[in-house]
Amino acid sequence: MKVRSTLAASVALALLSGTIVTAVAGGASILLPSPSAVAQQATLNLAGEGEGTLSLRGRPNQIITFVTVASRPNRQTNISLRLADGNLMQWTGRLLSRKATEARIRLTNAGMADATGTLTLRFQGDRLISLIGNGSIDSQPMSVRFTIGDDSVNRPPTTATARTLAQSGRGIFGLQGRPNRPITFASASIQANGQAELSIRLNDGSLISFGGQQTHQNAYEIVLNLTSSGMADARGTANIRYGANNSIKEIVANGTMDGQSFFIQFTGQ
């Protein structure tokens, strides 16, 4: 009678806590997670606004500005990438694993195209911090790198190396409420710890500099998270395409300076 009452109490507690009970020989019981509890733990509902790059062989690189990730109890996962041109790219996959702040997804489709590869996500609560992955879309090699534009979170480690880039060229610096001004020269200095400075020389000889942190680097592009401009507060992202001999091919940046929107468009000569 005592064994039965103990087992009944275990069953009642299990039903309240989302577990199931298995009876074994000798009257003992084992508490196991219920399928619904496991499924709930596996789901994701994440979103993050920032900047990243989608690279696909045979096509120009595309800038990513916003990402959402949502998974179902059966682990099917939908990934949406908002591009800088306003288009939305939707991928599907399967959630392979989830930890407290990291998850891995195996890609299966990219719209109507076949896709393979693995995405690694970092997050805090429902806020996506980064998305990094490699694979293929319709047999063409693909890579994606995205991180949110928020210095209050711990970003993925970068592999920054000290370098200085510089180039004469032509461009435009725009600041809300003021006329656009021509750019004649640009430089970028990145330290080994990822700290960076981006400077542009205007046609009247004045210099505008931004401080920030490198968030991504590959063989052709550096991404900076801008955090200051002289004595002014600044927030924004700069994509710097570079070439041989530390030359700058292109700079595209936008954000705010003391609450005023700004942009930089520069092409090296």
Identify the weakest region by mean pLDDT among 154-158, 161-165, 187-191: 154-158
What pLDDT shows up at residue 14?
41
What pLDDT shows up at residue 44?
86
pLDDT interval class at 175 (50, 70, 90): very high
The structure tokens listed for 135 are 């694979």
Share of the chain above pLDDT 90, in %: 42
What pLDDT shows up at residue 159?
52
Query: Quick one: how far is CA 7 from the chain centroid?
Result: 49
Judging by DSSP bridges, how do beta strands 76-83 and 88-98 pair with one another? antiparallel
Query: Shortest CA distance to 147 belongs to which of 129, 165, 133?
Result: 129
Give the tens place of pLDDT for each residue, 59-100.
Answer: 888 888 889 999 989 999 999 998 887 788 899 999 999 998
> Which of the two residues, 121 and 159, has the higher pLDDT score?
121
Judge whether residue 136 has pLDDT over 90.
Answer: yes
The structure tokens listed for 73 are 């109890």
Judge whether residue 20 has pLDDT over 50.
Answer: no
Share of the chain above pLDDT 70, in %: 80
Judge whether residue 157 has pLDDT over 80.
Answer: no
What pLDDT shows up at residue 248?
95
What pLDDT shows up at residue 23?
42
**198, 180 Cβ separation under 8 angstroms:** no
**117, 96 Cβ separation under 8 angstroms:** no
What pLDDT shows up at residue 39?
39
84 DSSP 8-state letter:
T
Domain with CATH 2.40.128 in the chain: 42-148
> Which of the two residues, 226 and 15, has the higher pLDDT score?
226
pLDDT interval class at 231 (50, 70, 90): confident
Give the helix ranges, DSSP H, for 144-268. none
**163-268 architecture in CATH?**
Beta Barrel (2.40)
Burial of 59 (0-12, 13-18, 19+ CB in 10 A): exposed
Query: Quick one: how far is CA 113 from the chain centroid?
Result: 23
Query: Shortest CA distance to 48 belongs to which of 161, 129, 132, 134?
Result: 129
Neighbours of 100 (CB within 10 A): 7
Query: Shortest CA distance to 65 belongs to which of 236, 248, 196, 217?
Result: 236
Say which residues have a Cβ less than 8 Å from residue 236's Cβ, sequence separation at least 6.
149, 210, 226, 253, 254, 255, 256, 262
Residue 183 CA to residue 173 CA, distance in Å, equals: 7
The class that CATH gives domain 42-148 is: mainly beta
Query: Quick one: how far is CA 259 from the chain centroid?
Result: 24
Residue 62 CA to residue 252 CA, distance in Å, equals: 12
Residue 26 CA to residue 39 CA, distance in Å, equals: 31
Residue 196 CA to residue 251 CA, distance in Å, equals: 14
pLDDT interval class at 42 (50, 70, 90): low
Domain with CATH 2.40.160.90 in the chain: 163-268
Q: What is the CA radius of gyration of the chain?
A: 25
Identify the weakest region by mean pLDDT among 153-157, 208-212, 258-262: 153-157
Average pLDDT over residues 104-119: 92
What pLDDT shows up at residue 149?
67
